[in-house]
Amino acid sequence: MLEINNLHVDLEEEEKTILKGVNLSVEAGKVHAIMGPNGSGKSTLSYVLSGRDGYKVTEGTATLEGEDILGMEPEERAAAGLFMAFQYPVEIPGVGNMTFMRTALNAQRKARGQEEMSAADFLKLVREKAKDLKIDADMLKRPVNMGFSGGEKKRNEILQMAMLEPRMCILDETDSGLDVDAMKLVAEGVNGLRDAGRGFLVITHYQRLLNHIEPDVVHIMSDGRIIKSGGPELAIEVEENGYRDIKAEVA
Amino acid sequence: MALPQAKQDLTEARLAGLERPDGAGWAVAARDAAVARLRETGLPHRRDEYWKFTRPETLTDAQAPSAALFDTGDEAPIFETLDCVRIVFVDGVFDPEASDDLALEGVTIERLAEAQHTDIHWARDLYGALEERGQVPVPRTLAALNTAMASDGVLIRVTGAASKPVNLVYNHRSESSDAILHHVVKLEEGAELTVLENGPAAARFNKVMEIDVADRAGFQHVRTQGRDHERRAATHIFARLGQESVFKSFTMTANGVLTRNECVIELTGDDAVAHVAGACMGDGDFHHDDTVFITHDAERCESRQVFKKVLRNGAAGVFQGKILVKEGAQKTDGYQISQSLLLDEDSQFLAKPELEIYADDVACSHGSTSGAIDEEALFYLRARGVPKSIATDLLTLAFLAEAVEEIEDEALRDEIVTRLEGWLSRRRG
Residue B78 in any domain: the answer is yes
Average pLDDT over residues B64-82: 92
pLDDT value at residue A180: 87
Chain B interface, best mutation among A73, A82, A90, A170, by max B CB count within 10 A: A90
Average pLDDT over residues A18-24: 95
Closest residue to B401, CB basis, from A50, A94, A144: A94
- Phi-psi region at B418: left, alpha or beta (left = phi > 0; alpha = psi -120 to 50): alpha
**Nearest chain A Cα distance for residue B371, angstroms:** 15
pLDDT tens-digit series, residues A176-191: 888 888 888 889 989 9
Residue B1 has pLDDT above 70, yes or no: no
Average pLDDT over residues B234-242: 98
Mean pLDDT check: name the lowest of B119-128, B132-141, B389-398, B418-427. Answer: B418-427
Query: Is residue B78 a contact partner of residue B72, using CB atoms and an 8 Å limit?
Result: no
Contact B383 A95 (CB under 8 A): no
Q: How confident is the model at residue A174 (pLDDT cuts 50, 70, 90)?
A: confident
Average pLDDT over residues B393-420: 94
pLDDT value at residue A192: 92
Partners of residue A168 in chain B, C-beta under 8 Å? none
Contact A92 B395 (CB under 8 A): yes
Query: Is residue A6 a contact partner of residue A23, using CB atoms and an 8 Å limit?
Result: yes
Contact B401 A164 (CB under 8 A): no
Q: How confident is the model at residue A170 (pLDDT cuts 50, 70, 90)?
A: very high
Which residue segment(s) compose the domain that B137 sits in? 5-373
Residue B291 has pLDDT above 80, yes or no: yes
Closest residue to B388, CB basis, from A75, A95, A164: A75
pLDDT tens-digit series, residues B346-377: 999 999 999 999 999 999 999 999 999 999 99
Partners of residue A99 in chain B, C-beta under 8 Å? 394
Q: Which residues are registered as beta bridge partners of B37?
A: none
Handedness of CA A11, A15, A20, A23 (dihedral sign): positive
Return the closest-CA partner of residue B400 out of A94, A56, A46.
A94
Strand order across the beta sheet in which A16-26 lies: A16-26, A2-11, A55-64, A67-68
Residue A159 has pLDDT above 80, yes or no: yes
pLDDT tens-digit series, residues B313-328: 999 999 999 999 999 9
Tell me how long chain B is.
429
Residue B384 in any domain: the answer is no
Average pLDDT over residues A154-181: 91
Contact B385 A79 (CB under 8 A): yes
pLDDT value at residue B40: 95
ipTM over 0.85: yes
Return the closest-CA partner of residue B68 out of B178, B174, B200.
B174
pLDDT value at residue A15: 85
Residue B266 has pLDDT above 70, yes or no: yes
Average pLDDT over residues B104-123: 93
Q: What is the DSSP letter of B199?
A: S
Average pLDDT over residues B76-88: 95
Residue B383 in any domain: the answer is no
pLDDT value at residue B189: 98
Contact A50 B386 (CB under 8 A): no
User: Greater confidence, B25 or A6?
Assistant: A6
Residue B429 has pLDDT above 70, yes or no: no
Residue B41 has pLDDT above 90, yes or no: yes
Those of residues 115-174 in A touching chain B at CB distance below 8 A are 143-144, 160, 164
Residue B22 has pLDDT above 90, yes or no: no
Residue B389 in any domain: the answer is no
Share of chain B above pLDDT 90, in %: 93
Residue B342 in any domain: the answer is yes
Q: How confident is the model at residue B231 (pLDDT cuts 50, 70, 90)?
A: very high
Residue B392 in any domain: the answer is no
Q: Which helix (H) or strand (E) holds A240?
A: helix A233-241
Residue B407 in any domain: the answer is no
Partners of residue B380 in chain A, C-beta under 8 Å? 86, 89-90, 92, 144
Residue B380 in any domain: the answer is no
Q: Name residues whose C-beta falls within 8 Å of residue A211's C-beta, 6 or more positions apart in sequence.
A: none
Of all residues in chain B, the one with the smallest CA distance to A51 is: B383
Q: How many domains does chain B have?
A: 1
**How far is residue A229 from each of residues A5, B232, B282, B283, B409, measured CA to CA in Å?**
15, 69, 56, 55, 62
Find the chain B residues whose C-beta atoms sit closer than 8 A to any C-beta of A.
374-377, 379-388, 390-391, 394-395, 397-399, 401-402
Average pLDDT over residues B218-224: 98
pLDDT tens-digit series, residues B134-144: 999 999 999 99
Average pLDDT over residues B253-280: 97
Give CA–CA dist B242/B101, Å, rounded: 30
Give CA–CA dist B134/B144, Å, rounded: 10
Pair type for strands A199-204 and A31-35: parallel
**Nearest chain B Cα distance for residue A50, angstroms:** 7
Strand order across the beta sheet in which B333-342 lies: B93-94, B85-90, B166-171, B192-198, B218-225, B246-254, B273-283, B302-312, B333-342, B363-371
A34 CA to centre of own chain: 11
Return the closest-CA partner of residue B398 out of B421, B419, B379.
B421
Give CA–CA dist B343/B392, Å, rounded: 9
Residue B12 has pLDDT above 60, yes or no: yes
Closest residue to A50, CB basis, from B375, B383, B388: B383
